[in-house]
Each structure stands twice: as structure tokens, then as C-alpha cells.
Amino acid sequence: MTAAAASGPSAILPGRGGIGGALSDAFWRNPKLLLFLMLTPPLLWLGVIYLGSLFALLMQSFFSIDEFSGVIVREFTLKTYGELLRPSNLDIIIRTVTMAALVTLAAAVIAFPIAYFAARYAKGRWKAVFYLGVMLPLWSSYLVKIYAWKLILAKEGILNWLFAKLHLTFLLDGWLALPVVGGNSLSVSPTGTFLVFVYVWLPFMILPVQAALERVPSNLMEASADLGASPGQTFRNVLLPLALPGVIAGSIFTFSLTLGDYIIPQIIGTSHRFIGMAVYAHQGTAGNIPLAAAFTVVPVAIMGVYLWLAKRAGAFDAL
């Protein structure tokens, strides 16, 4: 290896040659060209096809439908948005938003202990068990999950059987007799819809809350205890404020997913419509694309406001 420097080949080597070599040199000399080539396919797909479709839908919400012929009138009007304010449509919006809010709240309450345990106490093997324990339900089939609840909530299903075995059927009947939340059976009651929503979206709440809690240094809790706070005070004054961005991040999912869903209330629930069902009905048999489009703007607008508020609360750091 000695004397390599003194003689030996030239300090500048010839290129590899060929098309590959020439292209490689061209990309090296002009990194913007490479960037352009890399970004063009995804931008064409997502930027042109996808965004274009969204924009076209938005445009249609400013059209209206001729009530007699059923033909779409392609003229700018706010009439379709006005229709959203009709009592029956307003009802749908209020019902959906209330459900989304309740589902979010319930999901946060159930998710917190799981996330807290996984973040602070689970170590090694148990950590993996918890992680998979959340990931597997998250990724398993959405329809199968709904189907499972159809089995659970059915009149002859496991829940009724359980209540009967425990001689508590009167409790269930009492609940179902209540106005608003009750119904003929669990599978055709708002309670049923609520349960399924909470179940299906729960993992989306657990993961961001866990991520936020994992970032809380454990000595903060010790510092709080050291300063004389009871466990309850530590939870309220230290843990909860620090976990809040994670809860908000999770709520973005649970809230948005509930707002847009039309399958769960269709299968488990009453005949009262949710926004998603209204969109589906208007674009389908009714053929009223403008009203369907205007309805889709509602969850987007609600989520826009929600995201803006969440961003101000610093929730995106926990995503």
C-alpha cells in the first residue's frame, strides 16, 4: 500500500459512462431536476386528481337543483347552503355533532388509563403487548368490528344473555325505556350507535395520549409529590395539563371520524339520520349532488375550526 500517493492514477477519475453515469452526473449538478422528477408523480396524483376532485365537489355545493325537473342548475347560488338550515337538516347536524362530542369524551375517559399504564408502567415485553394490543384492534377490519357489535347487541345476543344471567334485565329494559337514548332493543337505539362508535375509534385516542404521556418526565410527578401534592392533585395539576395535547390530538380523529361515518348508524341505530347518511342519500337515489356537497362541507368546516383551536393548544406536537 505504500507509495500510493506519489505516483498512481489521476486525482480526478473519469465518469462511469453510459446513460446511468450521465444521468447521475446531471442529477448531481442539478439537484432541482431530481427533486422535480421525484415530486411530479405524487403531485400529479394527489395534487391534481385528488385535490381537483375535492375542488369540483366544493364547486357543486354552490350549484342548486331544479325542484321540478331534478336537473342540476350550474349557476352560482347560496340557496343550497340555505337548505342546510332547514329544521330537518339542522337536526341532522346537531345530532351528529352531539354524538361526535359524546363519543370523543367517552373515548378519552376509557383511553386514559390504558395509555397511562402503557406509557409509565409497562416495560419490555409488556410494552410490546400493550402496543400490539392497541394496534391489532385498530387495524382489524372496520366492518368486522361493526359486525361483532351486531352480534353482541342483538336481542338474542351475548349482552342480553349476560343481563338475564345476572337477573338484571330490568336495568336494561329501564334504560331502553328512556326517551332519546332508548329504543326497541340495543341494536336499534342511539345507545348502541354510541357504543359502537366508541369501540371502533378508541384506539385512535389511545395512541396519541400514550405518546404525549411518554414525553412527561417521571421526575415531574415525583417533584409534585415532593412538594406535597396528593396523587389526585398531581393528576389534576401536572399530568392532565401535560397529557392534554395528546387528548386533543386523539379527539381530532374520534371527532372527525364520527362526523363523517355513515355505515355505523346505518347498521346499529335508529332511523334518524347522521350527516354521512344524509350525504349518501342525497348523492345516491335523490341525485341531489349540490345538497350532498354542501353537507360534506359541514364536517370539513367543523374540523377546520376544531383543528385551528387544537393547533393553538399545541396538539400537533403529539401526533
Partner 1 sequence: MRSDRQNRTPMGLKIAAAAGLAFLHLPLLLIFVYAFTTEDKSYQFPPPGLTLKWFAVTWNRPDVWDALTLSVKVASISTVVALVLGTLCAAAISQTRFFGREAISLLVILPIALPGIITGISLRSAFNLAEIPFSFWTIVLGHATFCVVVVYNNAVARFRRMSGSLIEASMDLGADGFQTFRHVILPNIGTALLAGGMLAFALSFDEVIVTTFTAGQQATLPIWMLEELVRPRQRPVTNVVAMVVVLVTFLPILAAYYLTRDGDQISGQGK
Partner 2 sequence: MPHAVTFQQVSRHFGAVRAVDAVDLEIAPGEFFAMLGPSGSGKTTCLRLIAGFEQPTSGHIEIFGETAEGVPPYRRHVNTVFQDYALFPHLNVADNVAYGLMIKGVGRAERAREAEAALEMVKLPGYGGRKPGQLSGGQRQRVALARALVNKPKVLLLDEPLGALDLKLREQMQEELKALQRALGITFVFVTHDQGEALSMADRVAVFNEGRIMQTGTPHEIYRRPQTRFVADFVGSSNVLSPDLTARLGGPRQWASLRPEDIRLDTDGHHRGRVIAASFLGSATRITLEIDGETLSVLLPSGSAVPEPGEEVAFSWSPGDLHVMGDEA
What are the residues whose beta carbons fall under 8 Å from the beta carbon of 155, sequence distance 6 or more?
Answer: 185, 187
Among 22, 23, 25, 272, binds partner 2 (CB under 8 A): 25
Q: Which x/- pattern, by CB under 8 A, does the window 61-100 give for partner 1? A: ----------------------------------------
Among 139, 170, 232, 285, binds partner 1 (CB under 8 A): 139
Considering only CA atoms, give the Rg of the chain: 28
Please name the residue that has the C-alpha cell 444521468.
Answer: 23
Please name the residue that has the C-alpha cell 357543486.
Answer: 60
By the rule CB under 8 A, 19 interacts with partner 2: no
Comparison of 158 and 313: residue with beta carbon closer to partner 1: 158
Element (H, E) at 65: strand 64-65
C-alpha–C-alpha distance, residues 92 and 10, integer Å: 78
Residue 56 contact partner, candidates partner 1, partner 2, none, CB within 5 to 8 A by sort of partner: partner 1
Sole window of 73-81, 176-184, 198-206, 239-247 interacting with partner 1 (rule: CB under 8 A) = 198-206
C-alpha–C-alpha distance, residues 318 and 251, integer Å: 12
CB of 10 to partner 2, least distance (A): 7
b/e code 2-26 from CB counts within 10 Å (16+ = b)? eeeeeeeeeeeeeeeeeeeeeeeee
By the rule CB under 8 A, 147 interacts with partner 1: yes
Comparison of 24 and 270: residue with beta carbon closer to partner 2: 24
By the rule CB under 8 A, 270 interacts with partner 1: no
Residue 3 contact partner, candidates partner 2, partner 1, none, CB within 5 to 8 A by sort of partner: partner 2
Q: According to CB under 8 A, which residues from 3 to 42 bind partner 1?
A: 13, 15-16, 20-21, 23-25, 27-28, 31, 34-35, 38-39, 41-42
Please name the residue that has the C-alpha cell 366544493.
Answer: 58
By the rule CB under 8 A, 4 interacts with partner 2: yes
CB 241 within 8 A of CB 313: no
